[in-house]
Structure 1
Amino acid sequence: MATKKIKKVLLIEPNYSNKYPPIGLMKLSTYYKNLGGWEVTFFKGDLKMFVIERIADRCIEEFNYIDSTIDWFLKRDEFIEYIKTRKKEVIERLAIERSDMELILLAKLDDWKNYYWKGTWKDNPEWDRVGVTTLFTFYWDITVETINFAKLLVKKKKDLMVGGVLASIQPKELEEATGIKPWVGILGKPGVLDKGDTQIIDNLPLDYSILDEIEYKYPMSNAFYGYMTRGCIRHCAFCAVPTLEDKYIPYIPLKDRLDAVREVYGDQKDLLLMDNNVLASENLKDIIDDIVASGFGKGAKFVQPDMLEISIRNLQNGVNDRAYIRKSQALIAEFYQKLKPMKGDESYEVYKVMARYHINKLSTTKKENLIAAYEEIKDIYKRHQHPVPRARYVDFNQGVDARLFTEEIVELLSRIAIRPLRIAFDDIKTFPSYNKAIRMSAAAGLKDFSNYLLYNFVDKPLDLYQRLRINVELCDELNVNIYSFPMKYHPIRKGKDDAEDLSHNRDYIGKHWNRKYIRAIQAILNSTKGKVGKGITFFLEAFGNDETEYMELLEMPETFILYRFFFKWLDEKGSMGTDHWRQCWSHCMNTLAEDEKQLVLDIIHTNTFYKEELEAVTSADALKLLNFYTNYRKDIITPGTELYRLKQEYDENPTIQLRRKK
């Protein structure tokens, strides 16, 4: 009886930095594994290196077939390096002369090197299907590059699928750039990929194992991810949700999906839900009941399971060898590093086992060796596992709608381990609803908030200051913690009046903003690590005592913002500090002719300070002012300048730091 040929699917996330794993690809992995007959591989990273590693593994496989008396896999790093670099000295490290088949092996090594460098691999694609996910529109360049590379990896171009956020928002543009027609929206119907199949891909449990196939580690880990609703009842001008999820689905049950994940991949500490407007659901009580039944009620605790035991079990069961070889090896290596300082018998025993089975490096680690090594060290490992119960948290990460708050809704939210509660405050005009939502939540015992503040859209710069200050003052009044996260607006499509597509980069400037103001906000947030928390003294120091001081900060040279306490120190020494800039600024704004003043402001607000721009300035006072923006920027980081020397002197004994008072 002929065996069914295994087909291969490669799932790719472009190599940008992002917090959250690709939920769509995790569902697709489950889909293909449920189909049977598919081998699934996930990759995020350098695709050229991925190809080189695949070729190196095929080369090693052929070497082992020709001469099995030598374990060529132990030289995997050298095979990869040689195919990548073609350096002859790498061949010496392979020690092929040990084999009686030396000449044949050298010829084969040359063949595989040429297979990569002559591009022959492009004529023999490995994958039956390839799926590429997409994210933000400002990742345009890397996304297009990834899709075009993926075309080389799939046997038939029609079997390259592109989906996700960017693909759904700009399908025509992406097709023009790549020749691939993307999928728009979610995979919410049966049979969309394979006719006759009854699975609804968007409702499938996530395959968490694929996240361990790659080197990249997502900052938001050890959490269940998912949706309990889809879509949104709003149609905000800045939002892509109506395109991505055009129909509001009020309830998608959760518990069975989480139980399926727990059974195979182990329990996760937190629950991160990506719903776009969960409070709009008429089934909110069912959603909350489901969350509580899933183990995330108020006060819920989490005990870390034995992930090494789970990883080895999944290796034995053939769940995902590529993932669990990497994960098991990493866990054992991490365990050894913890034992190492103890320098006892246990540390030495683990070291001997790792050396004997060649699992001290991932590149030399084999599945069967990991399983054997685990059997020898598991008793030692378990003796050192003492997990402490930790608080669980539920996070509606996309935020909830302040306009929908009622006493009943707040009571429901207070039943789950929600922390933080995220309430969007994108427009100062929504203050009445926002204020009511915060106060109702605080009265119900919800004390931790992490709220998004959109700026650079249709708002004015003062609006951001007002919203930030409102949050700080609410913290003090209600004794709660509100972390404000200012989020710079980026368009999701090219505007009809735009000369270039500003959705493909991060250069968009709102009509009430300018590049200088944006850079000033970013410089301030640099000192607050991107968020603004409680503490009015801290806030006033960072953003100004009032709106006038805040607007002055926006105009201030970026160098003076980044090193504000150093320049205040210079003022105290009578040197050229912030007060000198302030005096010069005030003088120019009050005395320059209107056309000269506008020219100076245009130069400052574009934040470029090109030579030809500066040459157009004739006023000595204006040039003196602009000197604060140009020379100071260079001098503070240039050894040998007086400003650099003074900065070194200050750094040895800083007098002030921007910090919250305890």
Structure 2
Amino acid sequence: MSRKILLVEPNYKSKYPPMGLMKIATYYRRRGDDVRFYKGDLKRFAAELLFEEYLEELGDLALGKYQSSLVEHIKTGKLAPLDVIPDFEGTKARSLLKKYRSRYMKKDYPQFDRVGVTTMFTFYWKQIIETIEFVKYFCKPENIMVGGVAATLLADEMYEETGIMPHRGLLDKPGDLDPGDETIIDTLPLDYSILEEIDYVYPANDAYFAYMTRGCVRHCEFCAVPTLEPKYCSYIEVKSKIEEVDRVFGPKRDLLLMDNNVFASRHFNRIIDDIKAAGFEAGASYIPESEYDVALRNLKNGVNDRAYKRKLIRLYDNLSRRLKEEELAEFYIEREKRGCLYVATATKEALLEFDSYVKPLYDRHFKPTKRRRCVDFNQGLDARLANDAKMAKLAEINIRPLRIAFDDIKDRDIYVRAIKLAAKHGIGNLSNYLLYNFKDTPDDLYIRLKINVELCEELDTVIYSFPMKYHPITDGEYFRNRDFIGEHWNRKFIRTIQAVLNATKGKIGRGKSFFEEAFGKDLDEFHKILWMPERFIIHRFTYKDTLAREWWEKFNSLNDEEAAEAKSIVAKNLFTEDVIGAASTPAIAEVLEFYAIRRDS
């Protein structure tokens, strides 16, 4: 018997689609279950579910054109949204709507046989817990599944707050979801169709997402991988999964691999050969399949009717923006005649019949063009395991960027050697993560950033540096927030780095002058920026020769005792009137006044 399955990602920002849920969707869909995915405001989702039942009970799809207004009324009870519906008062439809508004208020929502919730970073704890608590209205608690990163790292804490014991680790054993079923869910291909069911657009979406290894041979003190993936698996076949994605969802542009340490694999050469065989050799490009053809084929084949009805309506809307006035008017009339203006009014049969009209029009206005393909080992490669042979092999694929972490200044020589090996073999686009706020000092971060800038000039290459703040994600005091301050850091220094990165969009690239303007030409200038009022950091050029200069003169004029007191106050990064008023000397208070500036003046 078919089951109703709801898969949910909490409403936080995420760059990558939830791979775990996409595999679970494949599992349930292969069993013939009705799978649904949602990411967004769950209160609105509850109202949308009730609207669907309302429309079904009413038996009148025509009202589907007013979906937004009807959903808003079900959710809020406001009458104004209903004003757009002509002759609505006194009708059967209006009377029936009261029933669904009442159900919403009573939290009598449509039910699912199972609900799965994924989790990511622990500092999204509040959103995660709220999501788990809310989905209890959709399903019996014993049928709620919770998994993912935060669930694995903080399983006991999650159980204590929600009463739901999450699944720890991977779904890598038979019977993980259904006793007696032999499927290893972690090995399944991803169901990309669920991404078409939601409004949220993941920044990285046109890619194959995969692992070719699991785990890591290292056990770095700051890393969660040993807990999340405790066993190192040195080879996972990916070519057949890519072929399956191509067959159903059409070719993707990039290959994004989430491996934690692929250099440690004894099958490294085989992994690179597999990547090349999948179409990602050096210089690789491809011509994407028409989005329209994919959507229509999958609707016709019943892959996910809910998703591809939405997709086709979106494609119609995109096509409308390409059409000239006369052609647009005719297209609108044809859509309206078939009920294909809105998702809620469009039937599968009507959309399939409309193909004979739409396809020639779509093909004329959307011609697929050749695109460059890239491979990205997104979690980075281990500089300690880099050698000439591996870099030569890596250069056989279209890797862009090559990510190598530089987390500790003690690894300077190892890191520089790896970067030079990459440049030697023609890998010229690199990116790296620089951990800070752990056991490092601010000076360590500055030096690592400067090394990258100097390597860019020396090797004529590009290295984008991404400083990443350390956060103890399993510490009971800090896993709910981002408040941890390392032993050599303070709140002001952390805020300074964040302010600089806000101005540089989170990364530091090639260019000595750019780096020196952002972080200073030497450590003395860097120290000045660390203590500089945040407003002057963000709007460096606005204040450089005026207020920033005046602040620095007053800051430097403090005697040793005053400077120590001022720095102890500034380090806390809190500048209320009471704090400033409590300064022991007028000179200190004058300095602190600069930190209270919040607007241009």
Give the TM interval when normalised to the shorter protein: over 0.9
Give the residue type in structure 2 aligned to 1:527. Answer: A
Question: Which residue among 43, 50, 58 is the counterpart of 2:53?
Answer: 58
Distance 1:136 1:150 in 2: 19
Structure 2 match to 1:17: 13
User: Which range moves more in the overlay, 321-330 or 351-360?
Assistant: 351-360
Give the residue type in structure 1 aligned to 2:259. Answer: D
The CA deviation at 1:104 is 5.0
Structure 2 match to 1:547: 523
TM-score, scaled relative to structure 1: 0.88
Are 2:505 and 1:529 aligned?
yes
Structure 2 match to 1:349: 330
Q: Is the 8 A contact 2:112 2:138 kept in 1?
A: yes
Distance 1:77 1:578 in 2: 50
The CA deviation at 1:592 is 4.5
Structure 2 match to 1:517: 493
Q: Secondary structure at the match of 2:230?
A: coil
Structure 2 match to 1:615: 581
The CA deviation at 1:133 is 0.3
Question: Which residue among 377, 386, 394 is the counterpart of 1:396?
Answer: 377
Distance 2:84 2:99 in 1: 18
Structure 2 match to 1:653: none
Distance 1:82 1:93 in 2: 12
Distance 1:81 1:583 in 2: 57
Rate the CA distance shift 1:635–1:310 in 2: closer, same or farther, 3 A.
Answer: closer
Structure 2 match to 1:208: 192
Distance 2:180 2:106 in 1: 42
Q: Is the 8 A contact 2:214 2:229 kept in 1?
A: yes
Structure 2 match to 1:656: none
Question: Which residue among 68, 73, 76 is the counterpart of 2:64?
Answer: 73
Q: Is the 8 A contact 2:581 2:589 kept in 1?
A: no
Distance 1:604 1:501 in 2: 24
Q: Is the 8 A contact 1:395 1:421 kept in 2?
A: yes
The CA deviation at 1:363 is 4.4
Are 2:111 and 1:133 aligned?
no
User: Which range moves more in the overlay, 89-98 or 78-87?
Assistant: 89-98
Give the residue type in structure 2 aligned to 1:624. Answer: E
Q: Secondary structure at the match of 1:309?
A: helix
Give the share of equivalent positions with the same residue, in percent.
47
Q: Is the 8 A contact 1:151 1:157 kept in 2?
A: yes
Are 2:36 and 1:41 aligned?
yes
Rate the CA distance shift 1:181–1:383 in 2: closer, same or farther, 3 A.
Answer: same
Distance 2:375 2:463 in 1: 17
Structure 2 match to 1:634: 598
Structure 2 match to 1:490: 471
Are 2:233 and 1:249 aligned?
yes
Distance 1:97 1:331 in 2: 31
Rate the CA distance shift 1:359–1:601 in 2: closer, same or farther, 3 A.
Answer: same
Structure 1 match to 2:424: 443
Aligned residue-pair number: 601
Question: Which residue among 577, 580, 585 is the counterpart of 2:547?
Answer: 577
Give the residue type in structure 2 aligned to 1:177. Answer: E
Give the residue type in structure 2 aligned to 1:552. Answer: K
Give the residue type in structure 2 aligned to 1:509. Answer: I
User: Which range moves more in the overlay, 534-543 or 103-112?
Assistant: 103-112
Q: Is the 8 A contact 2:212 2:237 kept in 1?
A: yes
Q: Deviations over 1:149-178 (max 9, x none)?
A: 112211x31111100000011111111111
Are 2:568 and 1:602 aligned?
yes
Give the residue type in structure 2 aligned to 1:623. Answer: A
Distance 1:480 1:597 in 2: 42
Rate the CA distance shift 1:103–1:418 in 2: closer, same or farther, 3 A.
Answer: closer
Structure 2 match to 1:560: 536
The CA deviation at 1:89 is 5.1
Q: Is the 8 A contact 2:580 2:593 kept in 1?
A: no
Q: Secondary structure at the match of 1:609?
A: coil
Question: Which residue among 423, 437, 440 is the counterpart of 1:459?
Answer: 440
Distance 1:300 1:117 in 2: 55
Distance 1:281 1:75 in 2: 56
Q: Deviations over 1:463-522 (max 9, x none)?
A: 11101110011011101110111111111111xxxxx62121111111111111111111
TM-score, scaled relative to structure 2: 0.97
Rate the CA distance shift 1:597–1:74 in 2: closer, same or farther, 3 A.
Answer: closer
Rate the CA distance shift 1:71–1:558 in 2: closer, same or farther, 3 A.
Answer: closer
Distance 1:358 1:151 in 2: 35
Question: Which residues of structure 2 form unaligned runs of 5+?
Answer: none
The CA deviation at 1:537 is 1.3
Are 2:100 and 1:112 aligned?
yes
Question: Which residues of structure 1 form unaligned runs of 5+?
Answer: 495-499, 637-642, 644-662
Distance 1:303 1:623 in 2: 64
Distance 1:635 1:8 in 2: 53
The CA deviation at 1:105 is 4.5
Distance 2:79 2:122 in 1: 44
The CA deviation at 1:108 is 2.6
Structure 2 match to 1:266: 250
Are 2:457 and 1:476 aligned?
yes
Distance 2:65 2:349 in 1: 14
